[in-house]
Each structure stands twice: as C-alpha cells, then as structure tokens.
Structure 1
C-alpha cells in the first residue's frame, strides 16, 4: 500500500520523512543539521505553514494532494540528493524568506550574524551605500537593506540567472526604490560606483574540496563554489581592486571559508582581521580601505 494511503497527519509525515532521511544517510548543511529538523522543514514548507505553528496543527489530516506532494519531495530529496531549498523554492536568511533555485547557492553564510549586529564595531557609522558582490539570491544585500534603512544597495553577480533570482527577491521584499541588481564580473559592470561597505561571499572552494563535496553541494552552481586550485582566484582580484571602489573609511567583508590558510600564505603582508561568530562559522575577514591600498 502506498504511503499516502497509510499516513494522514502532519505529525505522521514528519516522523516518516525523518526516518527515511536517517535511513538514507543524507548530508545536512543547507539550513538544518539533522534528519528531524530537515523533515519538519520539508513538511511545513510544503504546506505553507510557519516553523512555529501551533502544535495542535500537527494533528491535522492532510488532503491526498498534500500527501502526494510530500511523498514526492521526500523521494527526490533522497534519490537526487537535492537540497531542501531547491525542492520548496525558498530559504531563510537573517529571518527573511528568499526565493531560490538551482542557479544560486542556498543561503547559509555566517555573515548573517554580522548583519544582525550592524557590522559592529567595524563600521564607524551606518553605511549610505552597500555592495553585495557575488550576490546569488541577493540575500546578503537585501538583509543589509533591512539593517540600514537609508542605504542604497547594489547586488552584483556574473550570472544572469542569479541576477534574475535577485531581482525577484528585490520585488518580493518591495525594495525597488533602494536596491538594484547588476550583472557584473567583479566591478566591471558597476561603472565608477563606490561604497561605504562591500560584502562578498564569493566562490572560494579549492579544486580538491570541490571534487569531494557531498552530493547535496554538487547540486549547487559550480561557478558559485569553485575558484581555482586554491580557491582564491576571485579573491585575489577582489583584494587588488577593492580599494578603488571603497569610500574613505570604507570596509570590506569577505568570506573565504576553508581557504583562509591559503589566503594568509598568498598575502603574508596583509593583517587580515578574522571575525568570530557566536552561532558558528569561520573564514570571514575584514579589511579597511586603508589596508587595501597597500596591496599590490
């Protein structure tokens, strides 16, 4: 007998999905870290219900169409190793919901914690202009627009498909008056614009790590992950060009993940400030414009 003919309530499907995920030994790293939370997220998002819905709701019986949808998504999560966000078309970052698809990374950067803290103590005052470089879904830049309500924010990415997703999210959050998306390879498409704050989660995975990543990460766009043998092809360019695009007193924040030792080795003369995170994360550095002007 088919599963959808045996199970009926939300609670039934969360338990069933969690068991299937544990049995399949999935990798979790796109918003959850265990089978139960992954199953809960899949079921509730498929039903358009909030994470904190009333517990009594879990006893509600589902329609046949709803049951079939959940069974299909659980199957695809296991068989195709698709990240949950690609199945539901949405992901959360800084408490905000974003549209996502296979053309952008699933939002998960520890930079979210910096945004929520207003980038203190690195910014002397709230920025008037922000650039989210390698924006993907636009989540970092849009979250910055919420954090700094007077700031003009640019979202840039080399991928036209990613820019289309970012534009959709700008409209979703009704920020068209302050946020724009620009297709650009690094700074090439941004004309002579300069910024008080540049934030970037660029491709930084080295070739060895890229080839051995879990199957779920292999579903994400390679252009947003890999960056040469040591993972630093893009970051090298960024460090040499960023000073010219920062206003006086401007700040650069960049995530390089596990490539941070290679970065320090490549630029031994640079005093990177490596930021610490209360909720987990590593490999994010901060530099002031004055430090960047010394990089050759």
Structure 2
C-alpha cells in the first residue's frame, strides 16, 4: 500500500521539535487533548498520509487509541473527562508523534481500513489504499450503484493480492468475495510476518495463503478471477522528496524506479497469463497515470475514482490485456 508521490520538501528532522508545557488540570476532556494535539502537529508541520489526512483526524485517532476507543465511539465520549494516567499516555503519544516523526499507526501498532482494525509495525508500509473502497463500490457489493465490474461477488473463486504488505487488502477481499480462496504475495519476509498476524487475527488461515517471492513467481501457473495490487510506484523525484514520516517505512515498498512504473510494467506484462478468461486486474498507481498512458497508449484502461482520489487506480480485463 503505497504513499502518493510527494513533491514537497521533507519535514523537519526527527527530534527537532518539542511540545509546549501543559499545567496540571489544563486539559480535561477528550476534545481538549485533540485541540492541543492539533496545535502541536501544526506547529511541527507534520505530514499526514498514513491512514489520516489531516491533523484533526490524526489527533482524534491517537486520543481514541490511547483510551481504547474505536473511531465510531469517539463522538460519544468527546466531552468526557480524562484521568491523570490517561492524560499522560495521550501526551506521551503526542510527543512521540512530533519528536520522532513516525506515522501514528506505528506508535499504536494499528490502522483502520474500511472500519476494520489491522496490526502494523515498521516491517510494513502503513496501508492507505483506495482499493478497499473500490471493492465495495465497483464489485457487486452493497455500495455498488450500477457500476459493477464483477456483478456477482459469490462467483469469484480465486483472488490474487500482489505486494500484499500487511495483508489488509487480502482480508478485505476475503470479506467481499465470501467463496474465494486468496493468494497473497510479497517479496518481503518481514512484511509477510505482519500479514500472517493479521490473517490469524481474523481467523482466515484456511482461506488466505501467504507466499514470499517476486510478483507472480511464487504462484507459477495459477489463474485468478481477480488480481488486486498496490505495488511500489514512487518515482525517483518523489523518492528524493519523501517526508520524514515516510522514511520510517520500508523503502522497498515505495521505490517504483526512475519513472515510478517499473513494477507496474512487469505486472501488465505478466497478468494476462494469470487471469481466467473473464478475470481482470485492479491496480493502484498513485499519480503515475500520465506515465502509464504514455507508455501504453493503446491499452484500454478504465480509470476509477474514489471519495478521496481521481484516476489513481485502473481496471483492465483479461481480454483487453490480450
């Protein structure tokens, strides 16, 4: 699950910022701590692209996790008072976020996708893929509105998740395609350790098989009704400009080569041989659409939008791959 290619200068180095002093009793409610965190995050010029998109959402996430509240529970307790011990835990998290520049998900070892919690640590990139939303909106789910690319989710028997990382997309796919067996591949043994934990947490060992290797190599001649992938796609310019937060994540999960589409080229070259006749490929590419369209002017890619993205994921059928 990749970050968007970043064109802005890196944030200040870790350890250069400090929090303002807070007197006893000055912060009382959850909202007080959220407001304080937002002020600290904005003063430190943090970057938000790791499951939250702005300082308010990130502050609420950290406060909620410190208090063992799920995101949907925050509003119910927003004006509740925080104990002294809880307040210290929250302030420690805020300070760690500012001083280390690590993504908030690493500080609490958790991220939410489509409302589901997943374990994450520095062995994997923090998931923030648009594919989870697209599975619900374009593949015959309850959110589909006449735009289904696969009409019957129950007809999908085999799914491949390339570059699975923490395994989040494979798990979301297992819930959306209830009769499908899923193979999840990653070149990183460390990443697959995190994926194995998430698969186990959801009790899906009998449906999701993890494979270590380079793209299609571990699954040899198998064919799938659906291939989903969120591969490395940051170009050389973007790699040089990654913010400090992204430097805490595995470089391998970002680097897409000089123009960002080295791995995407390999996926497009090999995908047809691993799809069933009626199958298709769903691929996230960040801001690399211009490079892909220039490299493949005759390929009929269908570009899909989400609530927070425009043309960052494409769909192509096996037939159109030729």
Question: Which TM-score bucket, shorter chain as reference?
Answer: over 0.9
Higher relative contact order (CA 8 A, sep 6+): 2
1:3-152 aligned at under 5 Å gives the runs: 3=22, 5-6=24-25, 7-53=27-73, 55-56=76-77, 58-64=79-85, 66-119=86-139, 120-126=147-153, 127-152=156-181
1:205 corresponding residue in structure 2: 234
Alpha-carbon distance, 1:148 to partner: 1.1
CA contact (8 A) 2:30 2:77 kept: no
2:214 corresponding residue in structure 1: 185
- In 1, the alpha carbon distance for the partners of 2:276 and 2:207 equals 19
1:219 corresponding residue in structure 2: 248
- In 1, the alpha carbon distance for the partners of 2:168 and 2:90 equals 27
CA contact (8 A) 1:4 1:67 kept: no
Alpha-carbon distance, 1:281 to partner: 4.3
Between the two proteins, the alignment pairs up a number of residues equal to 292
Pair 1:91–1:4, CA change in 2 (3 A): farther
Q: In the alignment, does 2:296 pair up with 1:267?
A: yes
Q: In the alignment, does 2:178 pair up with 1:174?
A: no
Deviation per residue, 1:172-222 (Å, 9 max, x gap): 111112112111211111132211000000001101011112222222211
- In 2, the alpha carbon distance for the partners of 1:21 and 1:124 equals 44
TM-score in terms of structure 1 length? 0.92
CA contact (8 A) 1:158 1:184 kept: yes
- In 2, the alpha carbon distance for the partners of 1:183 and 1:4 equals 51
Bigger drift between 225-234 and 265-274 goes to 265-274
Q: In the alignment, does 2:283 pair up with 1:247?
A: no
Unaligned runs of 5+ in 1: none
- In 1, the alpha carbon distance for the partners of 2:161 and 2:23 equals 44
Unaligned runs of 5+ in 2: 1-19, 140-146
Give the alignment's Cα RMSD to 1 decimal.
1.9
